[in-house]
């Protein structure tokens, strides 16, 4: 049975449409990598914008909106540009932050925590916002990066259709590579508009996910991290 009580069975088995709906409604993710086709970057951004605008115009027209109205006639192009250039710009690897590593010359060997990093992403199941904050910590292995690069890394992976669990892991794995250390921790606390605007329509709940590596697998180290988040 679906959560709302609707049967998922058709002739005793789930059909493909019901399976797809269940995966989306239950917020299940199927891969650690963002699902991308091999030809994802054969079209230019301008070509993608033109195609998206065309199809979004069809969506608006299907819903009965008057596209000759001055307020609406530019909407398909605005949406297309927003998708490609802004809210889904993290799909393009050319937008990945360029990071320079520096020697930890001041020999700061304690935990570094960057907290309350803004997370603005979109649920890949319903294409509505995920809004919250990320808290990131690392212990230097001899190298450091500029603080803004941590924020930019969070934003890069957030600016694509996402599932929060995958987003959390992707940020942690990227920071491990960037900082050349296993001692990384990432926590994301976010609200999902697909939960508050539709379905259960819970406006108060939030989702917390975490990814701990290296020294952060030790309870004492994690507890120190938690202390800084209070």
What CATH number corresponds to the domain at position 81? 1.10.286.10
User: What HEC string does the chain produce?
Assistant: CCCCCCCCCECCECCHHHHHHHHHHCCCCCCCCCCCCCCCCCCCHHHHHHHHHHHHHHHHHHCCCCCCCCCCCCHHHHHHHHHHHHHCHHHCHHHCCCCCCEECCCCCCCEEEEEEEEEEEEECCCCCEEEEEEEEEEECCCEECCHHHHHHHHHHHHCCEECHHHHHHHHHHHHHHHHCCCCEEEEEEEEEHHHHCCCCCCCCCCEEEEEECHHHHCHHHHHHHHHHHC
Same domain as 172, residue 140: yes
Last residue of a domain, one of 47, 63, 87: 87
Same domain as 78, residue 128: no
Q: Within a domain: residue 42? A: yes
pLDDT at 13: 66
Same domain as 129, residue 176: yes
Same domain as 119, residue 205: yes
pTM equals: 0.85
**For residue 83, what are the domain limits?**
31-87
Confidence of residue 28 (pLDDT cuts 50, 70, 90): low
pLDDT at 7: 41
Q: Within a domain: residue 36? A: yes
pLDDT at 167: 97
Per residue in 45-99, pLDDT (tens digit) is: 999 999 999 999 999 999 999 999 999 999 999 999 999 999 999 999 999 999 8
Same domain as 66, residue 129: no
Same domain as 208, residue 148: yes
Q: Within a domain: residue 138? A: yes
Same domain as 149, residue 60: no
pLDDT at 8: 44
Q: Within a domain: residue 197? A: yes
Q: How many domains does the chain have?
A: 2
Q: Within a domain: residue 224? A: yes
Residues belonging to the active site: 123-126, 164, 192, 194
């Amino acid at each position: 049975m679906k959560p709302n009580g609707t049967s998922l069975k058709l002739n005793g088995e789930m059909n493909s449409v019901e399976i797809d709906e269940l995966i989306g409604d239950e917020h299940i993710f199927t891969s650690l990598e963002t699902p991308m086709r091999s030809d994802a970057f054969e079209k230019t951004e301008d070509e993608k914008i033109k195609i998206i605008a065309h199809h979004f115009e069809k969506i608006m027209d299907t819903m009965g909106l008057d596209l000759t109205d001055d307020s609406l006639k530019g909407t398909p192009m605005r949406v297309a540009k927003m998708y490609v250039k802004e809210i889904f710009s993290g799909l393009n690897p050319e937008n990945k932050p360029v990071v320079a590593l520096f020697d930890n010359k001041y020999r700061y060997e304690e935990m570094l925590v960057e907290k309350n990093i803004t997370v603005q992403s979109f649920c890949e199941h319903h294409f509505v916002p995920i809004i919250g904050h990320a808290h990131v910590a690392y212990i230097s292995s001899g190298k450091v990066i500029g603080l803004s690069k941590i924020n930019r890394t969070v934003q890069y992976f957030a600016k694509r259709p996402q599932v929060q669990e995958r987003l959390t892991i992707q940020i942690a794995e990227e920071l491990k590579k960037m900082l050349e250390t296993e001692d990384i921790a990432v926590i994301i606390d976010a609200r999902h508009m697909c939960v508050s605007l539709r379905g259960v329509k819970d406006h108060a709940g939030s989702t917390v996910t975490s990814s701990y590596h290296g020294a952060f697998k030790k309870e004492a180290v994690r507890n120190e991290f938690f202390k800084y988040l209070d």
